[in-house]
Amino acid sequence: MPTPPGAAPAFPDAAERSTRDTTLRNNLRRATHTIRAKRAAAVAELADWGELRAAGAAIKDHTLRHLDHYLEQVEAAVTAAGGQVHWAVDAAEANAIVTRLVRETGEREVVKVKSMATQEIGLNEALAAAGITAYETDLAELIVQLGHDLPSHILVPAIHRNRAEIRDIFRTQMGRWGRPAPAGLTDEPAELAEAARLHLREKFLSAKVAVSGANFIVAETGTLVVVESEGNGRMCLTLPETLISVVGIEKVIPSWRDLEVFLQLLPRSSTAERMNPYTSMWTGTTDGDGPAAFHLVLLDNGRTDALADQVGRQALRCIRCSACLNVCPVYERAGGHAYGSAYPGPIGAILTPQLRGTVSALDASLPYASSLCGACYEVCPVAIDIPEVLVRLRERVVEGGPVTVRGTRAVIRPARGHAAERAAMRAARWAFEHPRALRAGQRLASRTRALHPRHLPGPGRAWTRGRDLPEVPAESFRDWWQRTRGERGTA
C-alpha cells in the first residue's frame, strides 16, 4: 500500500536517504544519461520540432479551455459505440466504481496495463482489499510488483533496478504470482525477457477482465489510444471479455488530426523512437472482436482544481513522456521514490501539489524539489514552463491564499516552517518599493562586506549548508552607473 502523503517524509528527508544509496545513483545516472542523449538525437532529426511543440501546447490549451465540451463529446461517442462512461470525482469514487465493475463480472483477477492514473488512486490496493488480485503486465511494472516496490520513473518504473536485481526478483518471486522463473535464469536481457513473456502469457490467456489507462482519448469518435513498446498492452486490450479504462480527464484531444501531432512528439521525447512500436486504438465494443464490454472511468481527482489556476493549469498539458525526468539533476540524484507520488521528477513536483494540495509536509516540500535550472522546460514537448509553476507553487506554500478545492474557492493557510522565508520576501518587497532605502542598504552592505559571514545563522542555516552566500560587490550597480555615466546616468 503506498504511504499516504500525510505520513510520508518531506522530500528533503526522503532525498537525503536515497542520495546515500550509491547503487541507486549509479543505476539512475546510467539510465537517464543514455535516454537523454538518444532523445536529443531523435529530436534533432526533425526540422520542425519547434512548430510541433508549439502545436502540441496549443492543442492541449484549447482542449483544456473547452474541456467540458470535449468531455461531453467523449461520453456521447463512447456510449454510441457500445461503451459505458463513469465519472469519478476522486480516488475513492474511481476505486469503488472499478471494484464494483469487476465484482459484477464474478472474477477475482484482473490484468493491468499502462495506467499511471490507477497508481495515482491506489487501485491495486483497493482491489486487494476487495479480494481481487491485479496483475501488472508491463515488464517494468511487473518487476516493481514482484519486488514489492513502487515505480520510480514514468516510463521506466523499475529504472532504479539493475539486471542482477531483476534476476533475483524473478527467481524468488515469480512462482508466488504464477508461472515460476526458468531454472538457472541469468541476468542476460534476452533470458529475463523470455522469463517475463512466459509468465505473462499465462495471465493473458486466462484473464477475463483487464484494466488499462490511455495516452489519449479522441473526442470526435470516443476512441482511446495506448502507445507502448512491448505489445503486452495489446494483449491486455484485446483478449479479456471486459475492459475497464481509467483515464484522467485531461487526456482528451479534439480530433484525429490533433493525434498526429502527439504521435510524433511522444515517442521521440520518451523513448527516442521515430514511431512507437505498438499503437492500440479502440472505440466502444465490436461484435466478435475484442472485449464484449467496455467501461471508461473518467477521473477528476483534483484536475479541475488545477485547471482553475491560470499558471498551474499548464501542468495538465503533460503527455507523460518523462523527458523532464531524464534531464533533471535533482531526480538523477534523489530517485523517484523521494517524490512520494505516482508522478516523480519535475512534472511530479508541479502536478502532485496541485492534485493533492500543499497541506502535507511532503506535498508542501515538492515545489522545492528543483534547482530551477530550466532543463525540464527545454525538453518538454508541450512546452510546460515547469520552473514558472514551481515558483507559483512555492508562493502558495509560503503565503497561502485562495485556491480551488473540489471546485470551491477556499483560502489555505501558509505552510508551517516558512516564517523566515516569508519575512525575507516581505522585506525584499518593501525594499524594492522604496528605492532610497534600497540604495542606502546597498551602500551599507558594500561598506561592511568584509564583515559578512559566509553562512547564515539561525533559520537560514539550512539554506547555506550546501552553498556559500554570494559575495556583496564593492560597489552597487547604481553607484557604478552613476560614477561611470555621471550626469547622464538615470539608474
Centre a 10 Å sphere on the Cβ of residue 278 and count the other Cβ atoms it contains. Answer: 14
Amino acid 306 reads: A
User: Which parts of 207-319 fold into alpha helices (H)?
Assistant: 232-238, 256-270, 303-307
User: Under rule CB under 6 A, how many of the chain's residues touch ligand SF4?
Assistant: 15
What is the contact mask toward ligand SF4 in residues 333 to 352, using x (rule: CB under 6 A)?
Answer: --------------x-----
**CB burial string 310-319: b at 16+ within 10 A, e below:** eebbbbbbbb
Q: What is the dihedral of CA 468, 473, 476, 481, to 10 degrees?
A: -130
Return all residues near 70 (Cβ < 8 A) that are at least 6 apart. Answer: 63, 219, 252, 253, 254
Please identify which residue in 102, 169, 384, 415 interacts with ligand SF4, judged by CB under 6 A.
384
Q: Which of 112, 203, 313, 320 binds ligand SF4 (CB under 6 A)?
A: 320
Closest contact distance (angstroms) between CB of 175 and ligand SF4 is: 35
Establish if 55 lies at the interface with ligand SF4 (CB under 6 A). Answer: no
Nearest-10 crossing angle of helices 139-146, 189-206: 90
Q: Which is nearer to ligand SF4, 297 or 319 (CB)?
A: 319
Binding characters for ligand SF4, 256-275, by CB under 6 A (x = yes): -------------x------
Rounded-to-integer distance, Cα 226 and Cα 210, Å: 14
CB of 405 to ligand SF4, least distance (A): 23
Chosen residue from 237, 380, 389, 390 binding ligand SF4 by CB under 6 A: 380
Choice between 354 and 476, CB closer to ligand SF4:
354
Is there binding between residue 382 and ligand SF4 (CB under 6 A)? yes
Cell of 124: 491495486
Q: Which cell goes with 354?
A: 496541485
Smallest gap, in angstroms, from Cβ of residue 213 to ligand SF4? 15
The whole-angstrom separation of Cα 63 and Cα 65 is 5
Q: Which stretch binds ligand SF4 (CB under 6 A): 112-120, 279-287, 314-322, 362-370?
A: 314-322
Least distance (Å) from ligand SF4 to the CB of residue 265? 8
Q: Which of 150, 185, 324, 355 binds ligand SF4 (CB under 6 A)?
A: 324
Binding mask 123-162 for ligand SF4 (x = CB under 6 A): -------------------------------x--------
CA distance 11 to 265: 31
CB of 156 or CB of 398, closer to ligand SF4: 156
Collapsing DSSP to helix, strand or coil, 276 comes out as: coil
Q: Does 319 bind ligand SF4 (CB under 6 A)?
A: yes
Helix (H) or strand (E) holding 88: strand 84-88
CA angle 328, 346, 300 (to 5 degrees): 155
Residues making contact with ligand SF4 (CB under 6 A): 154, 269, 318-324, 347, 379-382, 384
